[in-house]
Amino acid sequence: MARGTTLEQLTVMLKAEIGASPDYAANADMNFVYHQYLRRHYENLYDGWAWPFKRIERDIATAAGQRYYDWPAEIDGEQELEFWVDENGTWIRLEQGIGPGQYNSYEEGDRQDYPYRWDWQGEDQFEIWPTAALDGVTLRIVGTKNPNKLISESDVCDIDDQMVVLYAASELLLRDDPNRAQQKSNMAQQREDVVKKKLQTRKRLTMSGRSTERPAYGNTKVIAIRGQS
């Protein structure tokens, strides 16, 4: 499986699959069209399956008294999320939701060593409660990686390049050569099956052993909240 292929390289591969000159500069006015087909199939394939490399973590350090933090752009806020805080080597999971009950528990400006809840603040920030009394406490967000955007020629594809190219080629050929279009579609589906099977096999091998439970973050424990709910 080849990941990390640039949009320019994908375009050259697509041209070759549909029988056009594989020179990127040849008939360059069509590259915009090729980019659109590649981008659409790439995004549909990326969103359509739980590729294991989509699961990522981002750490954010607290600033004493700071209530709002910028959302890490790499993580998709519309997918399932987990928030954790490192309390001296023990990872505590934060509950989502901050409302009047929480605000009534602490006066404005009150701080605790560690926050216990989080919630959205607009679309680009999140809030923690209560505000941390310490600088440098680690908040860990676990979620789904946003796909790389295939906009510039140097942007790279997160998933298998052959799979993306073959699906795009199938659609491009559909009007003028339906037989070849079907052939490319079959090849794309076969490639997708192969790629997914390899990843599923790797996942099973990784999980085989004494436990199939998700690895814990150190001495992990889960809390609902401390103090008044």
How is residue 161 written in tokens? 């390049």
CB distance 82 to 211 below 8 Å:
no
Indicate the angle between helix axes 161-173 and 31-47, nearest 10 degrees: 120
CA-wise closest residue to 74 among 53, 49, 44: 53
Give me the residue spans of the domains in the chain: 5-51+158-203, 55-145
pLDDT for the residue numbered 203: 58
pLDDT for the residue numbered 224: 38
pLDDT more than 70, % of the chain: 86
The per-residue pLDDT for range 69-127, each reduced to its tens digit, is 999 999 999 999 999 999 999 999 999 999 998 888 876 667 888 999 999 999 899 99
How is residue 18 written in tokens? 């549909």
Distance between CA 93 and CA 109 in Å, rounded? Answer: 23
CB distance 226 to 115 below 8 Å:
no
CB distance 26 to 20 below 8 Å:
yes
b (16+ CB within 10 A) / e for 89-98: eebbbbbeeb
pLDDT for the residue numbered 97: 96
Judged by DSSP in three states, 161 sits in helix
Sign of the CA dihedral with 22 first, then 25, 27, and 31 last: positive
DSSP letter string, 5-64:
-BHHHHHHHHHHHHTS---TTTTGGGHHHHHHHHHHHHHHHHHTS--GGGEEEEEEE--T
Report the DSSP beta bridge partners of residue 70.
125
Which parts of the chain sit beneath pLDDT 70? 1, 107-109, 202-229
CB distance 114 to 102 below 8 Å:
no
Pseudo-torsion of CA 36, 192, 144, 226, nearest 10°?
A: 160
Report the DSSP beta bridge partners of residue 92.
85, 221
CB distance 12 to 25 below 8 Å:
no
